[in-house]
Amino acid sequence: MAIFIYGIIVLAIIIVLSSIRIINQYEKGLVFTLGKFTGIREPGLNFVVPVIQRMVVVDMRIRTIDIEKQQVMTKDNVPINVNGVVFFKVHKVDDAVIKVQDYEYAISQYAQTALRDVIGGRTLDTVLVERQKIGDEIRKIVDKETEQWGLDVQVIKLQDIEVPDDLKRIMSRQAAAEREKRAVVIKSEGDRDAAKNLAAAAHVMAKSKGAMQLRTLQTLDGLGPTASNTVVMALPVEVMEFFQKLSKKE
């Protein structure tokens, strides 16, 4: 009799322990009674009836899943390899478990499809420049579809965009040509501004008496006292001014 009582006590303890479920703060639990959804349990200590009831615990935190690298043909017929990452969270736990078999796999596949559709409608230059805009457009498409699954897509980011090697070499040469073009334009603009300044200075010196002599003395002073500097003046400045006045009188 005592053994029977001990057996019942041990069985009761096992049943009680097996019915205990602890849900963390970042989780929620779905309870199914005889296979039918009967409620949502909040974080803390919870109990379920063994055999009759089953609890599915769902993580409510933001999660990340990868969009696997895939080859996509752009609008201008350039094959590129693109991958990305999806940030999402579950906001309706019952829909996420009941309406879709595996919501992580489902959102991953849908994100891949949306990525191909969006990038396929853009040229390569647009894809390389507008990563953030493309990611936002993909997010809107995926979020609209997965909202009925109880999911909330936070952000979708494009990570790597790989172009063919031969196209990389062409783009590199094009970039080098653009940089050389900008350098030539900047130099020509500098030469033009310098010519304007020299012309203006010559005009001022021509009108100011003695300006040429002063400029000549400044130039000589700038040469310094080094013995290796030799200055040869073919004509004095006064002689040059004499011929200028003589030509004006004629």
Class of domain 63-168 (CATH, top level): alpha beta
pLDDT band at 86 (very low <50, low <70, confident <90, very high): very high
Residues 10-50: pLDDT tens digits? 777 777 777 888 889 999 999 999 989 999 999 988 888 88
Mean pLDDT of 53-60: 90
Instruction: In whole angstroms, give the CA distance from residue 46 to residue 116.
Output: 45
* pLDDT of res. 107: 92
Which two three-digit tokens encode residue 108? 């991953």
Phi, psi of 218 (to 5 degrees): -60, -40
**Sequence ranges of the chain with CATH classification 3.30.479.30:** 63-168
The b/e string for 32-43 (b: 16+ C-beta within 10 A; e otherwise) is: beeeeeeeebee
Instruction: Give the CB-side neighbour count of residue 162, counting CA atoms within 13 A.
Output: 9
Q: Are 27 and 57 in contact (CB under 8 A)?
A: yes
